[in-house]
């Protein structure tokens, strides 16, 4: 999780208000979440300065999970200037995530 920003109920809106953010809704007990973590770390390094990679622990921030209708984890949102522009549910390939980030960045 070295390249990811930890988001909470308190800092979420400010963190995603400007620019492009990939938000990973996850939990420590979730096996698929652990499988995708290295991919997100790689993307964090590759998109440094262009997009933010962030994580929301659904156990710590259930209100955010409810607000974004997260029913299964991992759920990954691409947020641009505070608005969701793409959503992936389950383990998603690096290429698909990179393409979505590129499209959001423009």
Q: Considering Cα of 39, then 43, then 46, then 48, what sign does the dihedral take?
A: negative
- For residue 56, what are the CA distances in angstroms to 62, 70, 106? 9, 11, 25
Let me know if 30 is a catalytic residue.
yes
Let me know if 33 is a catalytic residue.
yes
Q: Cα–Cα distance between 48 and 6 in angstroms, integer?
A: 16
Q: Cα–Cα distance between 65 and 68 in angstroms, integer?
A: 5
Which one from 33, 53, 73, 97 is the annotated catalytic residue? 33
Which one from 27, 30, 37, 98 is the annotated catalytic residue? 30
Q: Cα–Cα distance between 99 and 86 in angstroms, integer?
A: 11
Active-site residues, by number, are: 30, 33
């Amino acid at each position: 999780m070295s390249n990811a920003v930890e988001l909470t109920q308190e800092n979420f809106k400010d963190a995603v208000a400007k620019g492009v953010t990939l938000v990973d809704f996850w939990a420590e007990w979730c096996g698929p979440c652990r499988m995708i973590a290295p991919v997100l770390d790689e993307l964090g390094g590759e998109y440094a300065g262009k997009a933010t990679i962030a994580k929301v622990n659904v156990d710590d921030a259930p209100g955010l999970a409810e607000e974004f209708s997260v029913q299964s984890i991992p759920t990954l949102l691409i947020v641009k200037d505070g608005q969701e522009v793409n959503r992936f549910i389950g383990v998603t390939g690096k290429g698909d995530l990179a393409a979505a980030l590129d499209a959001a960045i423009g």
